[in-house]
Amino acid sequence: MFQITGVADSYNEGAREDLEKIFDEDNEDVSAEENDEDEDSSRDFEDTAFSSEYSESSGEDEDAEDDSDLEHDEDTEETEDNSDLEDEDSGDELDIAEVGEESDLIKKWGKSIATHCEYDPRGLYVLLMSFYYRSGPRFQQLKLPENYSVSDTKVVNQFLQALPKLADLTAGILQNSLQQNHPEPAIKLANWIHSTFGRMFSSAPESLRIAGFSHNTSQFIVLDPPIDIQKRFDANVKRHKGLTSVRFHGTSIASLHSILHDGFMSDFIWTADSQIISWGYAFNGPRTLKNVVHPLYDYGVLLDLEVAGSVTGSVTGSVLGGITCVPQRDYGIYMVRYIFLLPPNAQPPRTPATIQSAMKAAYLKWPSRRDWS
């Protein structure tokens, strides 16, 4: 069964504790079964950690997506089966299925998207928006669902344009929007996008958010990269005896999915040792994206990259300071860890050293480090 990786910003204290326990690299309770599995460790983590957001305990029941309601109550440690889930951001009640019944949202979109909308509306929103610019011929690069033509992708852009603005987004608002009348091709393709790529990233829980960014900067963590990208990176980290460093890369929402799924495809990749330097590059795409009416045309994307060892490419510090260029053959040294979606006119944090320290501390908690020893 498809496991949602999204974590709501309003997750309860018990879920936070479960997440932190699983993220602890010294956790002695990691089961022998998890350690013996050959699959990517980030997928192991995902199947246990994030199910704790809507089950009583993580790792005990992978099919914890039952038909009972959940209620967010900061004063209680356990949820009750027949309670209503409240969206803390908007105060709206989410019509998630009562026992024995299915909500209209589940009937229309399926349980996976409905659950993702409930627990991580911004993660679902950004996932779908990352496909906006890949309409028409760009979708020929992807394996489309059966009986689905490239021409049908045009309706996806219209569907995405009709979604609410990110600045106003809550679970309740997104749910109401999804319940409107949308053409069947858009629903079908959105479900395919979600089932195929929805595990890749999710909103960062409070314990893993990087301090220093503005409150309206959306932060996401990449927990389930493609297997081949993960294996190349792991091999490079082992070659460097587990030592890693921090780099940044600015890009646009139009390139986000390609980078996450395919890796960096250009002949060279430019990265910086400071988020301040990469900040400007994150906003290079507005003119192009505005021409195609992209709903996030004026947002920037800042990627935090964990680097195996340290970058030793062609240094151009005398020109731009802190920027290095690495050829494509060396792309395996990079792994995207954080995605920062920067709102218009956002200003970069002025404490680069503090940001880098926070990144390094977060890297130490990543589950994949269990395989580097």
pLDDT in tens, 225-269: 999 999 999 999 999 888 899 999 999 888 898 899 888 877 778
With tokens 């629903």, the residue in question is 187
Res 61: pLDDT: 39
- Place 342 in a pLDDT band, splitting at 50, 70 and 90: very high
- Place 169 in a pLDDT band, splitting at 50, 70 and 90: very high
pLDDT at 343 over 60: yes
Same domain, 106 and 214: no
With tokens 């089966």, the residue in question is 81
Distance CA 222, CA 335 (A): 9
Same domain, 207 and 296: yes
Same domain, 224 and 310: yes
| pLDDT higher at 29 or 195 | 195
Q: Stretch 116-134: mean pLDDT, rounded?
A: 90
134 located within any domain: yes
Same domain, 174 and 298: no
Same domain, 257 and 154: no
Distance CA 174, CA 351 (A): 34
Same domain, 121 and 265: no
Which residues, listed in sequence order, are joined to residue 246 by a DSSP beta bridge?
306
- Place 223 in a pLDDT band, splitting at 50, 70 and 90: confident
Res 145: pLDDT: 64
Both tokens of 142, joined, read: 């992807």
Same domain, 125 and 113: yes
Q: In this structure, are residues 5 and 50 in contact, taking their beta carbons and an 8 Å threshold?
A: yes
Res 352: pLDDT: 78
**350-360 b/e (C-beta count within 10 Å ≥ 16 → b):** eebeebbebbe
| pLDDT higher at 4 or 240 | 240
Q: In this structure, are residues 5 and 199 in contact, taking their beta carbons and an 8 Å threshold?
A: yes
3-state DSSP helix/strand/coil % of the chain, to nearest 5: 45, 15, 45
- Place 203 in a pLDDT band, splitting at 50, 70 and 90: very high
pLDDT at 368 over 70: no
Q: Stretch 280-302: mean pLDDT, rounded?
A: 82
Angle at 127 between CA 231 and CA 235, to 5 degrees: 10
pLDDT at 40 over 50: no
Both tokens of 180, joined, read: 């409107």
4 located within any domain: no
Strands (E), the chain: 201-203, 218-222, 244-251, 268-272, 300-308, 314-315, 323-327, 334-342
Residue that is last in its domain, among 157, 181, 200: 200
Residue percentage of the chain with pLDDT more than 70: 61
Amino acid at 49: A
Distance CA 194, CA 172 (A): 19
Same domain, 83 and 146: yes
Q: In this structure, are residues 135 and 152 in contact, taking their beta carbons and an 8 Å threshold?
A: no
5 located within any domain: no
Distance CA 355, CA 362 (A): 11
Same domain, 196 and 207: no
Q: Stretch 57-61: mean pLDDT, rounded?
A: 37
The length of the chain is 373
Distance CA 287, CA 166 (A): 19
Same domain, 193 and 66: yes
- Place 102 in a pLDDT band, splitting at 50, 70 and 90: confident
Among the listed ranges 6-20, 71-85, 153-167, 275-289, which one has the minimum average pLDDT value? 6-20
Same domain, 56 and 67: yes
7 located within any domain: no
Q: In this structure, are residues 69 and 83 in contact, taking their beta carbons and an 8 Å threshold?
A: yes
Res 291: pLDDT: 74
Q: Stretch 180-199: mean pLDDT, rounded?
A: 89
Averaged confidence pLDDT in the chain: 72
Res 270: pLDDT: 86
Res 10: pLDDT: 34
Distance CA 268, CA 313 (A): 10
246 located within any domain: yes
Query: Residue 303: which domain range?
Result: 203-371
Same domain, 72 and 83: yes
Both tokens of 95, joined, read: 């019509």
300 located within any domain: yes
Residue that is last in its domain, among 200, 218, 239: 200
Instruction: List the CATH number of the domain containing 287.
Output: 3.90.228
| pLDDT higher at 86 or 140 | 140
pLDDT at 39 over 80: no
pLDDT at 127 over 90: yes
Q: In this structure, are residues 112 and 187 in contact, taking their beta carbons and an 8 Å threshold?
A: no
pLDDT at 122 over 90: yes
pLDDT at 133 over 70: no
Taking alpha carbons only, the member of 272, 269, 267 closest to residue 317 is 272
Distance CA 315, CA 322 (A): 8
pTM of model > 0.85: no
Res 144: pLDDT: 64
Residue that is last in its domain, among 176, 200, 224: 200
Amino acid at 267: D
Q: Stretch 90-108: mean pLDDT, rounded?
A: 60
117 located within any domain: yes
Domain count, the chain: 2
Distance CA 337, CA 356 (A): 13
Res 302: pLDDT: 96
Distance CA 57, CA 77 (A): 12
1 located within any domain: no
